[in-house]
A and B are shown apart, each in its own frame.
Chain A
Amino acid sequence: MTHSPSVSRRNAIRMLGAGAVAGTALSGAPGVFTSHAADTFDYRALVCVFLFGGMDSHDVLIPFQQAEYDGWRSIRRSFVARQGASRDRGALLPLARVSRPPEEPPQHALAPELASIKALYDAGDAAVIANVGPLVEPVTRQAFEAGVARVPPRLFSHNDQQNIWQAGAPEGAQFGWGGLFADAVLAAGGNSFRPQFTTITTEEVGPFLTGRTASPYRIGIDGAAQVNILEEFADQTDPAFVSAVRDQLAGRSFMGENVIERDIAAKFGSGLDSNDFYGQALASGMPSFGGFGAGPLSAQLRAVANTIAVRGRLSASRQVFFVGLGGFDTHSAQAVDLPNLLRELDSATAAFHSAMASLGLSRQVTLFTASDFGRTLAVNGDGTDHGWGSHHFAIGGAVRGGEIYGEVPPSIIGHDQEVGGGRLIPSLAVDQYAAQLGRWFGLAPSEIGTALPNLGRFTSPDWQFI
């Protein structure tokens, strides 16, 4: 639809150093990749799928026993009707649990849009972790209502709860647990050749991937971002001229005192360097993965899969990725919008799992979901409002799948695990959820404790989903 900005038609550029030898050098980028001890056998990656806006897990994990289902449906009748047959009990996907006798009837079911995740669950490669959310310490409804409970600040606020999920503190938080996990890897000498590829995002990430050492590298969905003018010049001009332009774009000449100018000069410089290196790694060849659709999460997870495919060339043995899907803030039109989002989540994560299997990495890559918060069970007409705890997924060959971990509160209003309107008090802290991922990632207990300083306030559950 739009013109592609390119300098190729600018004839004048051709005049530059006419006859010069085709340029080779983008200065700063090595021409040959050094082989390195990045041990792909031992490779591990975590992939955080952030569901921006607050996913309504009341509409994802649905009570399946007739009486409980009827109660749920009654509370949600104003928009369940608009969802048509998809929320009929017979259309739901009941979840057996490996920990229970096979004859025990399923208590919960997934929304039918999640058929692929259901298949992974049945195959033992996906699990549901119930009622996860930010906590400072265990909270009861009585303590919450009496105002004596210690709770995370700024509950129910999008940006703050996103930050708290990612970094344990409201907006302004600096260090996220993904970045702190990466710090532990770097401190142990992992990824030492190219540390910048330890934490990678396809989205505008909050603090999640920032540690004291690690900082996120942003990739595009179509490979490495390349500087058009350098590509154009490189074929036509004196390499010294190309280097001069590149150095200027990378802020190499900058010596100013202004703090913000220094920061932006550094961002331009590191961005160009990393893009060059990443682009060369991708260009070295990667498998083309089938199965990814055209949706926004699919495109991001395909980019992650492509990156993992060239992990050796990036010298990465441990990586933390961040991808995101927006639109979950379903204050209205939930009946239409949420099913579409769930279909995208389903298809993208399943395609990613297949891609990892095709690389032989399904046991070495674990994907998990996160979100601002859950939502109310009560409806506001055609949508739901901000809540607190919500149910999440972990997917990968290392996941102890086919199980719902933790406690799923009843889908009624007025029980002890909610604070009004069906806003769930989390029964598992984000720190506990993260700690199990960190242990699998290879972190020692002390390293996990550094990344999740609040963990000690909670008693470990008697289960591990991974």
Chain B
Amino acid sequence: MISQPLQLCRPILAFSSTLAASLLLTGCGGDDSSAAPIVIEGPSVTTSEGAFATSQSTARFLTQATFGPVPSQISGLTGTSASSWFAQQLAMEPTLVEPEFEAYIALSEEAAQESDELSFAAPSFVFWKHAIEAPDQLRLRMAFALSQILVVSDAGGEILSDVPESMVGYQDILRNHAFGNYRDLLEAITYNPAMGEWLTYMGNQKADETGRVPDENYARELLQLFTVGIVELQPNGEPRLQNGQPVELYNNQDVTGLARVFTGLDIAGLDRSVFPSLVDAVGEVDDLGENFLRPMTFNDALHSEREKTFLNCSIPAGTRTLDSITQALDCIMAHPNVGPFVSRQLIQRFTTSAPSPAYVERVAAAFDAGRFLLPDGRQVGTGRKGDLPPTLAAILFDAEAQVDAALNNAQFGKIREPVLRFTNWARAFDVDASKPEYALELTDTSNPSALSQHPHRARSVFNFYRPGYTAPGTQSGALGMTVPELQIVNATSTTGYINFMTFWTFGGLDMLDPGEIEEELSELNIPFDRAEVARAWRPDYTAEIAVADNAAALLDRLDRNLLYGTLSSEARAAIERAVNQIPLDDEDDEDARALRASLAVFLIMTSPDYLVQR
């Protein structure tokens, strides 16, 4: 592998709209991108718009669209054009995982002893670093959202964790296509070896005389989870009813028919006569990792020649592998369910858990038309069904999601995903995340005693939570609201989150003895620099400490930066009371001031006001 220098991608701090484009483009460089061209046409009106009209609305919009607002960004963008910001984000080169991953491999190889930890955990390390520091925030948020619809996970502990390139390649596909087209994205993931391994169609073969039949796994989940769902939908995402009942779209014969399409694909460069099982190739085949970064290859001799019938589509007998896949994806993509099905789930990842049918319909219309007009009049999209930039724009700029409408709607909002709560903290307090390998707490946050969520590590293809989850025994459930994230809120995970955030908000790595950190890193053969260890993964509360003698001023600041001004008066009073119980012996009592700041951040980030993004 080629060694590349580690790239440092600090968030862009203060920038004005005019400077933004040039600054942003000098941020973290990308690899060659296969992303579809993004077309933005029409007049660009650089006036203040609703989304960035006030610091409150700016902070809120950035909460929805990024991994968390950076305080200087809130002040820098307030009064500028949100459309311009959106367009600039679209234009940025993607920050990719692979170069950074290869730098980790090089680092591991240069170390005195090769570090398994560095390579196996590298996909996670790179995710955290980029989420917190990369400039192309909108793209990475979209990729993260897509990773929860088109789920591939390394939770299983086999190939997808033993060969870290698998998750590297998959993450980069999502990033490269995040501003592309959903149909192209489906094609890319279909040929991706990580998906092939995850949904078990890598090496899948046509039926034969031994009674062998094609594996149905990908066919089923491609329909059920990635494209059309299970029942017929109206354009607004609600089920179409017949005699009061939802209409199922397909049965197992359709799945069996579609399963024939996904036969004949296999990872490149693997001699199956030597390695019938991929597990045996791990550690034996040198370029196995490299081949996980490439599309799978095909073998027509192993591809089903039979007719493939599903979803009112029919692919004639004798059609070969590549043509079969192209026709199948085209046919599925043409189904009217795809727009509302995908749009509703994307809305849930960005703005609200239980969107109104009208909101879903508007977003699905942008998805279907491949076009959306930004508030300043510019058009996003190429006009092709499935274009993702107009879909995302329609989600973020919809009237229902705007600050005044949303804050007055008691059913609007979503539980902040645990991963996003953590990145929000890191970005709000200028945490140095450039060395994620120093923060071993972040190698796995999926346990309920941590975040109950870890990037690209859902327990199954059904993600961390289901889009249709309505929580029994709750007020939202009684109203029939879908609230996916409530599925991972329970007596263990609530305490787990409180404890996890205690560690970070009260100091992060500052909470640990530096000698202990260095000892652990040495044991794992992770190279480190003592000065960097002393700097990494700590919050910078300087500005908070400066006002910590005045609890009201401290909370004003945190309210603006973490809560876009929505801290309730009751929570404010309760937190002020707690903060004021920490005595300040004299005005220079820095430790007590720091403790006040930490406590206030901690209590805000564990409050219902914060836990739900409205």
Does B286 sit within 8 A of A, measured CB to CB? no
A382:B277 contact, CB within 8 angstroms: yes
A264:B594 contact, CB within 8 angstroms: no
Determine the chain B residues whose CB is within 8 A of the CB of A172 once the complex forms: 468-470
Q: Which of A10, A378, A382 contacts B213 (CB 8 A)?
A: A378
Given A218-B491, A253-B573, A385-B217: A159 touches B498 (CB 8 Å cut-off): no
Instruction: Give, as a whole number of angstroms, the nearest-CB distance from B253 to chain A.
Output: 8
- Nearest to A155 among chain B residues (CB) is B252
Q: Chain A 397-423 against B: per-residue CB contact (8 Å), 1 yes, 0 no?
A: 000000000000000010000011101
Q: Chain A 32-67 against B: per-residue CB contact (8 Å), 1 yes, 0 no?
A: 000000000000000000001100000000000000
Q: Which of A159, A263, A386 contacts B474 (CB 8 A)?
A: A263
A260:B492 contact, CB within 8 angstroms: no
Does B490 sit within 8 A of A, measured CB to CB? yes
How far is it, in angstroms, between the C-alpha of A53 and the C-alpha of B571 when the chains are bound? 43
Q: Chain B 581-614 against A: per-residue CB contact (8 Å), 1 yes, 0 no?
A: 1110000000110110001001100111101101
Q: Which of B156, B414, B459, B581 contacts A260 (CB 8 A)?
A: B414
Between B216, B252, B466, B476, the greatest number of chain A beta carbons within 10 A of the residue's beta carbon is seen for B252
How far is it, in angstroms, between the C-alpha of A219 and the C-alpha of B492 when the chains are bound? 6
Given A159-B466, A333-B279, A380-B204: A210 touches B230 (CB 8 Å cut-off): no
Between A238, A271, A336, A420, the greatest number of chain B beta carbons within 10 A of the residue's beta carbon is seen for A271
How far is it, in angstroms, between the C-alpha of A336 and the C-alpha of B582 when the chains are bound? 58
A255:B483 contact, CB within 8 angstroms: no
For chain B, the count of residues having a C-beta within 8 Å of the partner chain is: 105
How far is it, in angstroms, between the C-alpha of A385 and the C-alpha of B207 when the chains are bound? 14
The interface stretch among A93-101, A223-231, A352-360, A450-458 is A223-231
Interface residues on A, range: 35 or more
Q: Chain B 558-584 against A: per-residue CB contact (8 Å), 1 yes, 0 no?
A: 000000000010110111011001110
Determine the chain B residues whose CB is within 8 A of the CB of A210 once the complex forms: 472-473
Q: Which of B199, B246, B472, B570 contacts A254 (CB 8 A)?
A: B570
Q: Which of A3, A7, A75 contacts B211 (CB 8 A)?
A: A75
Q: Chain B 207-251 against A: per-residue CB contact (8 Å), 1 yes, 0 no?
A: 000111111110010001000001000000000000000101001
Determine the chain A residues whose CB is within 8 A of the CB of B191 once the complex forms: none
Does A295 sit within 8 A of B, measured CB to CB? no
Given A10-B507, A12-B591: A385 touches B216 (CB 8 Å cut-off): yes
How far is it, in angstroms, between the C-alpha of A237 and the C-alpha of B353 when the chains are bound? 40
Given A259-B475, A380-B215: A248 touches B571 (CB 8 Å cut-off): yes
B468:A268 contact, CB within 8 angstroms: no
A5:B511 contact, CB within 8 angstroms: yes
Given A10-B507, A12-B591: A226 touches B495 (CB 8 Å cut-off): yes
Determine the chain A residues whose CB is within 8 A of the CB of B516 once the complex forms: 3
Residues from 349 to 399 in B contacting A, C-beta threshold 8 Å: 353
Given A15-B595, A225-B491, A256-B609: A154 touches B248 (CB 8 Å cut-off): yes
Determine the chain B residues whose CB is within 8 A of the CB of A423 once the complex forms: 252
Instruction: Give, as a whole number of angstroms, the nearest-CB distance from A145 to chain B.
Output: 10
- Nearest to B352 among chain A residues (CB) is A260
Does A261 sit within 8 A of B, measured CB to CB? yes
Given A225-B491, A260-B414, A380-B216: A5 touches B499 (CB 8 Å cut-off): yes
Q: Which of B212, B595, B607 contacts A16 (CB 8 A)?
A: B595
Q: Chain A 189-229 against B: per-residue CB contact (8 Å), 1 yes, 0 no?
A: 00000000000000010010010000111111000011111
Does B304 sit within 8 A of A, measured CB to CB? no
- Nearest to B442 among chain A residues (CB) is A2
Q: Which of A77, A248, A336 contacts B607 (CB 8 A)?
A: A248
A259:B476 contact, CB within 8 angstroms: yes
B506:A10 contact, CB within 8 angstroms: yes
Does B493 sit within 8 A of A, measured CB to CB? yes
Residues from 255 to 281 in A contacting B, C-beta threshold 8 Å: 255-268, 270-272, 274-275
Does B33 sit within 8 A of A, measured CB to CB? no
The interface stretch among A113-121, A239-247, A285-293, A307-315 is A239-247
Determine the chain A residues whose CB is within 8 A of the CB of B489 once the complex forms: 264, 267
Between A219, A327, A332, the greatest number of chain B beta carbons within 10 A of the residue's beta carbon is seen for A332
Between A244, A266, A275, the greatest number of chain B beta carbons within 10 A of the residue's beta carbon is seen for A244
Determine the chain B residues whose CB is within 8 A of the CB of A158 once the complex forms: 460, 462
Does A171 sit within 8 A of B, measured CB to CB? yes
Q: Which of B256, B472, B581, B594 contacts A240 (CB 8 A)?
A: B581
B609:A261 contact, CB within 8 angstroms: yes
B500:A263 contact, CB within 8 angstroms: no
Given A254-B571, A264-B611, A386-B216: A259 touches B511 (CB 8 Å cut-off): no
Determine the chain B residues whose CB is within 8 A of the CB of A12 once the complex forms: 591-592, 594-595
Does B76 sit within 8 A of A, measured CB to CB? no
Determine the chain A residues whose CB is within 8 A of the CB of B498 once the complex forms: 227-229, 249
Determine the chain A residues whose CB is within 8 A of the CB of B603 once the complex forms: 245, 248-249
Does B72 sit within 8 A of A, measured CB to CB? no
Does A379 sit within 8 A of B, measured CB to CB? yes
Determine the chain A residues whose CB is within 8 A of the CB of B612 once the complex forms: 258, 260-261, 264
Does A326 sit within 8 A of B, measured CB to CB? yes
Instruction: Give, as a whole number of angstroms, the nearest-CB distance from A212 to chain B.
Output: 8
Determine the chain A residues whose CB is within 8 A of the CB of B460 once the complex forms: 52-53, 158, 326, 329
Determine the chain A residues whose CB is within 8 A of the CB of B411 once the complex forms: 258-260
Instruction: Give, as a whole number of angstroms, the nearest-CB distance from B446 to chain A.
Output: 11
Does A383 sit within 8 A of B, measured CB to CB? yes
Q: Chain A 314-326 against B: per-residue CB contact (8 Å), 1 yes, 0 no?
A: 0000000000001
- Nearest to B465 among chain A residues (CB) is A204
Given A7-B511, A385-B215: A218 touches B570 (CB 8 Å cut-off): no
Does A13 sit within 8 A of B, measured CB to CB? yes
Q: Which of A159, A254, A268 contacts B462 (CB 8 A)?
A: A159
A244:B211 contact, CB within 8 angstroms: no
A241:B472 contact, CB within 8 angstroms: no
B570:A253 contact, CB within 8 angstroms: yes
B513:A9 contact, CB within 8 angstroms: yes
B472:A157 contact, CB within 8 angstroms: no
B230:A16 contact, CB within 8 angstroms: no
A268:B211 contact, CB within 8 angstroms: no
- Nearest to A241 among chain B residues (CB) is B581
- Nearest to B513 among chain A residues (CB) is A9
How far is it, in angstroms, between the C-alpha of A383 and the C-alpha of B246 when the chains are bound? 32
B608:A413 contact, CB within 8 angstroms: no
How far is it, in angstroms, between the C-alpha of A274 and the C-alpha of B491 when the chains are bound? 8
Given A3-B512, A156-B255, A256-B609: A270 touches B491 (CB 8 Å cut-off): yes
A7:B459 contact, CB within 8 angstroms: no
A264:B415 contact, CB within 8 angstroms: yes
B215:A271 contact, CB within 8 angstroms: no
A260:B476 contact, CB within 8 angstroms: yes
Given A248-B578, A260-B415: A157 touches B220 (CB 8 Å cut-off): yes
Does B496 sit within 8 A of A, measured CB to CB? yes
- Nearest to A200 among chain B residues (CB) is B491
How far is it, in angstroms, between the C-alpha of A168 and the C-alpha of B547 when the chains are bound? 57
B353:A260 contact, CB within 8 angstroms: yes
Given A2-B441, A3-B440, A385-B215: A229 touches B502 (CB 8 Å cut-off): yes
- Nearest to B524 among chain A residues (CB) is A1
Question: Interface on A for B, CB 8 Å cutoff?
Answer: 1-3, 5-7, 9-13, 15-17, 52-53, 75, 77-78, 153-160, 171-172, 174-175, 179, 204, 207, 210, 215-220, 225-229, 238, 240-241, 244-245, 247-249, 251-268, 270-272, 274-275, 326-327, 329, 331-333, 336, 376, 378-383, 385-386, 413, 419-421, 423
Q: A257-B410, A271-B491 are in contact. List 11 more A-B contacts (CB 8 A).
A: A53-B460, A218-B448, A220-B492, A254-B608, A261-B611, A263-B471, A263-B476, A264-B489, A268-B494, A271-B494, A386-B216
A-B contact pairs, 18 of them (CB 8 A): A7-B502, A10-B506, A16-B582, A77-B210, A204-B488, A218-B448, A245-B599, A253-B574, A254-B607, A257-B410, A260-B413, A264-B611, A267-B489, A271-B495, A331-B215, A332-B200, A378-B211, A380-B216
9 smallest CB-CB distances across A and B, nearest first, come from A5-B503, A271-B491, A225-B495, A218-B490, A210-B472, A253-B574, A331-B200, A265-B608, A380-B215
